[in-house]
A and B are shown apart, each in its own frame.
Chain A
Amino acid sequence: MKKYLVTLLTLALAAALSAGAMAAPRSGGSFEWIAPYGSSVNSLDPNMSDDEQNEMVCMSIHTSMYRWDAKMNKPRLELAEKVDISDDGLVYTYHLRKDIKFHNGRGLVADDIVYTYNRIANPDNAFGAALNLKSVKGVQEVLDKKAESISGIRKIDDYTVEITLERPIELAYALFPINMAILPQEAVEDSSKPFGSNPVGLGPFEFVEWVKGSKIVLKKFDDFYKEGLPYLDRLTYNIMNDSAARDNAFRAEELDANLLYSSQYAAMRNDPNYNKNMVEVAEMYTRMIAFNQDFTLPDGRKPFADKRVRQAFNYAIDEALIIEKHQKGKAYPAKSFLPPTTPGHDPDAPSYGYDLEKAQALMKEAGYEDGFDLEVVGTGSSSYGTGVVEVTIPFLKKIGINVKPVTLEGAAKYDRQLSGDFQAIIGSLNSGPDPVQALWRFHGSNDRSTRNTPNFKNKDFDAALEAAAAARGDETKRLEFVKKANRIFWEEAPIWFFNYNKAIIAYHPWVHGIQAVGPEMMFQDFTEVWVEESSPRAQ
């Protein structure tokens, strides 16, 4: 008995020790990752790029003033040790860290901040990133070509920068996007080496090579300001647009991790070899069909101008069933506009759900018992395009709406979305991480050309949203107003609330550090990712 206990204890100790050893991150190895949103990466100049494909690569090479913290689900201060905010919320004073170096060896100073933000705002560059600076004092003058540089951004000394705002906002949310990354002037303006293909940044990895159309190879930046980080020696982004090809590569262990689409998710979630190593998150994208309230029937009536019709549309469709059967479980049914990962999401919010009787009653009450014909425009996507529209046909038929899906290619569909040339349009709208910013697109001051796709105009909504924006500094109050605005939006039903995307990354057992990133799952921070000895690329 004693001998047995001793053996047991020894084994337990050994197990504990080895488990402890396994949990400690290991330096070294290389990681084969993916850039799945296109068959190309356009540029590694972050200020220039405005889409996820470029930005997911840029975030390993570059750093912005703030960096998204996936664990806390909000941006954290990165390039500065601390920031002082004035009482009125209009002046932010950043005290930069003194130990940060660019990949070319030069240390970060306040001049770099001033240079980069001015470069972003420069109207001759026409960077989309300039929108992030709109609330900074003096930016509009620069955009209108009335001033040479932004008056609201001032260098106090080599390591102190002061930013003054026009109106109080959460500056962290404006400065954390990857396209706001800080760059070294001498490298950007070196005409012998186009910066977009020879990036120099502040990130954990430095640029090695770019085989255009195929892959981007990065290596560990030895002088990174965080001791011992990054763990990986090499990181490769393989440009792989096709999900089936990625699946093959992942199963063949040529990729260390993979972004799953519906068919792979359906196959892997019940496969014990893979389903233990998956990270899922409700991404901050709400899929919906927007109604055009100006849509007029041949007899002159405007069905979507009537709230009851819009609500009937919502009640008539069984989102949960569609998600389970058609999306193979790869989504969360939408309860309102804001997903659970966005602050201000209301877990107690009612949802329309599926209630055919109520839908039919509402249609009758509104005088549309005999229904009408409807064209729904979308891309060919089966996640948020006409693939979904087709599935809604039998549901809507029961309340008399005869749906005809119209498939358009991306740019063409977007054209019609902005001009309002649609009866109803299906798509995916960004719904986070800043709830006020996400909902602001529906503010009365915006119309379809400025992304207010349903052309929603509601004074109570506007008031609640403005109050939320004004309650900067008082998070509880801010979120209260956000919830109020969210509720009003839900009640008015200017859209059909479909789902929030469920983004899933599957990884091999030797991989550690993949996180649930709400704003966009592919924005993985590789600073703290590491691989075990058992990886085929551990050396």
Chain B
Amino acid sequence: MLAYTIRRLLQFIPTIIAITLLVFLLLNVLPGNAALMAGGKQRLSQEAQERLIEKWGLDQPLHVRYWNYVSGLVTGEMGKSYFTREDVGAMLAPRLWPTFKLALSALLIACILGIPLGFYSAMHQGSWVDSVTMVGAVSGVSMPQFWLGLLLMYLFSVKLGVLPTFGYGDGKVINLILPAFTLGVGYMALLARTTRAAVVEVLTQDYVRTARAKGLRPLLVNRKHVFRNTLVLLLTSAGLQFGSLIGETVVVETLFSWPGIGSLLVNSIFYRDIPVTQGCIVVIISAFLLINLIVDLLYAVIDPRIKYS
């Protein structure tokens, strides 16, 4: 298993290189360049722009610039932001935890609410709970986060006054509730559906029928046989979804003034602050790859039949 893990970790490198190449090409093909945006409303003089272009190396051929970037990346150097002139790594570091916290809380909410609902629906197929849950699930997945977030904000902050409208609140849990819920609803809906589907599938298996025929208590059957076996199916879809959740925090972060990677990414794109954009993307991709690896490793933990060499 250790060998497998190391192999997988090594595979990160070509993946990240490939993605950064793609991102690099895309960003440099976009119209509008950072030197223009650097001036803001006042707009820089022609000379100042040219000097900036020179300073940032934007006048060098694409492959030279890419090579400089990647070789820096290997040593952990992500370059300097065009605008704050700060180290990109230093800019990213304080933003990681808020985003991770947000995504993790959304995951927790989604699991705690979504999985039991999905389970119950599967056990009571055709009941009104089942129908309501599934309709809710479709709505939840289709709901735009922006709209949902604003509505929740209006209800809980403006009308009821029980939750703060915005902000990180120096890490207080109460500030986490609305953003995490907004982010988690779509995910919860997806989990409910996936769980339901997974459970329904397992229920049709022979071993479940056998266990019931043996006369085992339904609760025991459910816990030992049904649930455990759905875990693998669940882990696959839920795990993949969580990976992409890290990159999906953009909307919620912007809406709630949450100091995470998502809002940094959005801002850097508008300003064509290429080093920061690339830095954010590298972080998000690494997180995604890491989560995928953890999910794969968890398979082996949950299901003893799965072994990695």
Question: Could you list which residues of chain A lie within 8 angstroms of chain B, going by C-beta atoms?
Answer: 38-40, 42-43, 48-52, 54, 123-124, 126-131, 143, 179, 194, 196-197, 211-215, 238-242, 244-245, 248-249, 251-252, 254, 409-412, 414-416, 418, 430, 449-451
Contact A245 B40 (CB under 8 A): no
When chains A and B are docked, how far (Å) is the Cα of A242 from the Cα of B182?
Answer: 16
A40 touches B36 (CB 8 A): no
The 18 listed contacts between A and B (C-beta, < 8 Å) are: A38-B270, A39-B267, A51-B40, A126-B38, A126-B48, A128-B48, A131-B48, A211-B168, A214-B167, A214-B257, A245-B150, A245-B166, A248-B157, A249-B157, A415-B36, A418-B36, A449-B46, A451-B43
With A197-B86, A213-B253 known as contacts, the answer to whether A38 contacts B165 (CB < 8 A) is: no
Residue B293 at the chain A interface, CB threshold 8 Å: no
Given contacts A123-B47, A126-B52, A213-B263, contact A252 B257 (CB under 8 A): no
- Chain B minimum-CB-distance residue to A144: B47
Query: What 17 additional pairs, Cβ within 8 angstroms, besides A254-B157, A412-B32?
Result: A38-B267, A42-B83, A50-B41, A50-B44, A126-B55, A130-B45, A212-B94, A238-B257, A245-B150, A248-B165, A249-B157, A252-B158, A409-B32, A410-B32, A411-B270, A411-B272, A414-B37
CA A415 to CA B36, docked complex, whole Å: 8
Please tell me if the beta carbons of B158 and A212 are within 8 angstroms of each other in the complex.
Answer: no
Within the assembled complex, what's the spacing in Å between the Cα atoms of A128 and B150?
37
Tell me, in angstroms, the Cα distance from A486 to B65 when the chains sit together: 47
Least CB distance, B86 to chain A, in whole angstroms: 6
A211 and B31 contact, CB distance less than 8 A: no
Which residue in A127, A212, A213, A245 is a CB contact (below 8 Å) of B48?
A: A127
Q: Which residues of A contact B95 (CB under 8 A)?
A: 212-213
Return the chain A residue nearest B43 by Cβ: A451
The CA-CA distance from A238 to B257 in the complex, in Å, is 8
Bound Cα distance from A410 to B270, whole angstroms: 7
Q: A251: which B residues are within 8 A, CB to CB?
A: 158
Report the Cα distance A215→B256, complex, angstroms.
Answer: 11
Most A CB contacts (10 A, CB to CB) among B43, B149, B157, B271 go to: B43
User: Is B142 an interface position by the 8 A CB rule?
Assistant: no
Separation in Å of the B233 CB from the closest CB of chain A?
Answer: 37
A409 CA to B94 CA in the complex, in Å? 29
| Most B CB within 10 A of own CB, among A50, A194, A254, A418 | A50
How many A-B pairs fall under 8 Å by CB? Answer: 157
Known: A248-B150, A248-B157, A249-B157. A450 touches B41 (CB 8 A): no
Of A43, A213, A450, A451, the most chain B CB neighbours within 10 A belong to: A213
Instruction: Please report the C-alpha to C-alpha distance between residue A414 and residue B52 in the assembled complex, in whole angstroms.
Output: 18
Task: Take A211-B259, A411-B272 as given contacts and tell me if A249 and B48 are in contact as well, using a CB distance cutoff of 8 Å.
Answer: no
Counting chain A CB atoms within 10 Å of each CB, the highest count among B48, B55, B94, B255 belongs to: B48
Contact with A along B14-52 (1 / 0, CB 8 A): 000000000000000011110011111111111111011
| A411 CA / B271 CA spacing, docked (Å) | 7
* B267 CB, nearest partner CB in chain A, Å: 4
Tell whether B84 is near chain A: CB-to-CB under 8 Å: yes
B42, B47, B49 — most chain A CB neighbours (10 Å): B42
In the complex, the chain A residue whose C-beta lies closest to that of B166 is A249
Given contacts A40-B264, A196-B85, A213-B264, A49 and B40 within 8 Å (CB-CB): yes
* Known contacts A50-B38, A244-B150; A415/B167 CB under 8 A: no
The interface residues of chain B lying within 8 Å CB-to-CB of A197 are 84, 86
A244 to B158, CA, bound (A): 12
Among B42, B257, B270, find the residue whose CB has the most chain A CB atoms closer than 10 A: B257
Partner of A430, one of B41, B86, B256, B271: B41
Contact with A along B140-168 (1 / 0, CB 8 A): 00000000011001100110010011111
Q: How far is the CA of A450 from the CA of B254 in the complex (A)?
A: 33
Q: How far is it, in angstroms, between the C-alpha of A244 and the C-alpha of B146 when the chains are bound? A: 10
**Closest chain A residue, CB of each to CB of B157:** A252
Is A128 touching B166 in the complex (CB atoms < 8 A)? no
Q: What is the 8 Å Cβ interface bit string for chain B, positions 154-189, against chain A (1 contact, 0 not)?
A: 100110010011111010000000000000000000
